[in-house]
Amino acid sequence: MKKVKIKDIAEKSGMSLTTVSRYFNHPELLSQDTKNSIEVAVKELNYSQDNLARILVTGKSNLVGAIFPHLHLNFYSEILNQLIKQGKSKGYSFIVYTSNDSREEELELINNLKSYRIKGLILLSHMLSGTEIENLGIPVISIERSGGNFKQINNDNFTGGKLAAELLIQNKCDVFVHINNGYHEDWPSFKRIVGFEYVLKDYPFEICIDEGLTDPYSEVARQAMRRLTSQLIEKYNNKKIGIFCSNDDIANLLQRECIIQGIRIPEKIEIIGYDNSPESDYAVYPITSIDQNIPLMAQIAIESLENYLPHESVVPATLVKKRTTQ
């Protein structure tokens, strides 16, 4: 089978060689109509670009590495979708790995990505220390983790926690609870807890940590939430409970358990999640949530690949009221 060349694409699309070259190397310089015409030709000719050969010739890479701890949380899948969508418009291709919360596996994956001479690494895991990340020898863009001399993109998690507490106070809850699967200072949820506590310093509140909630879609998590919900109802039988969950996945798990146990939402329990993910909209009772502005996070990450500066960008948090609060 004849190997397809750039000139074949130019002839097929009716574009010049220079324009086709720009399509692969600087797509941001072309109009959408031009890119669409070339893309049709690329697909019809079944052209596959040799990225590694291109890197060796030009010294420039359009490959971006991304490492997630896993992809079963809505936040991770949504940020990945946005990264790929916005990266494509700039000509980037992604190599995506999950480290399964393993430090050893993460280091192995990073070494593998470095062999591809990636443009940069977008990191959403918390397995490595700030110093280890600084010493990787490649541009690292972290999303939702704190600490270190590298590019960081974080939501204003402290304000997000405050917004949740203020709404629950406004809605006249009697006691306040935060539910999380862990308590670590470099986790984004840590600052959410701090903001929540800051507002509630003169109110009765408690923090419920259960590592069984790490995968909210597992049977272990369902059993953990069943126990926790029963304990809270027994403890605060005659009180209205305001519950702030570390993410929408846990919030939806709590909601389902409340429905199973016949607990009225929002009359008996008010629920606030975090992420404002699609799941929060499609739940039985759409979940009040803190919006992280995931598209903006992805935009900053993609822009940082071209203009890399090791500093923190903070994205505003916004409260979105739905049916799980009054």
What is the domain range of residue 263? 157-291
Q: What digits encode the pLDDT tens for the residues 33-56? A: 888 888 888 888 887 665 555 555
Q: What digits encode the pLDDT tens for the residues 179-233? A: 999 888 878 889 999 999 999 999 999 999 999 999 999 999 999 999 999 999 9
Contact criterion met (CB below 8 Å) for 270 and 128: no
Pair (151, 161) in one structural domain: no
Q: Is the pLDDT of residue 27 over 90?
A: no
In a domain, 42, yes or no: yes
**Mean pLDDT across the chain:** 91
Pair (234, 258) in one structural domain: yes
Distance between start and end Cα atoms, the chain: 66
pLDDT at residue 55, as a whole number = 56
Q: What CATH number did the domain enclosing 283 receive? A: 3.40.50.2300
Pair (161, 150) in one structural domain: no
Pair (70, 136) in one structural domain: yes
Pair (20, 143) in one structural domain: no
Pair (279, 305) in one structural domain: no
Q: What digits encode the pLDDT tens for the residues 264-274? A: 999 999 999 99
Give CA–CA dist 186/304, Å, rounded.
22
Pair (162, 151) in one structural domain: no
Q: In the numeric block, which tokens belong to residue 268?
A: 């008996």
Pair (210, 247) in one structural domain: yes
Pair (136, 162) in one structural domain: no
Q: In the numeric block, which tokens belong to residue 307?
A: 């203009």
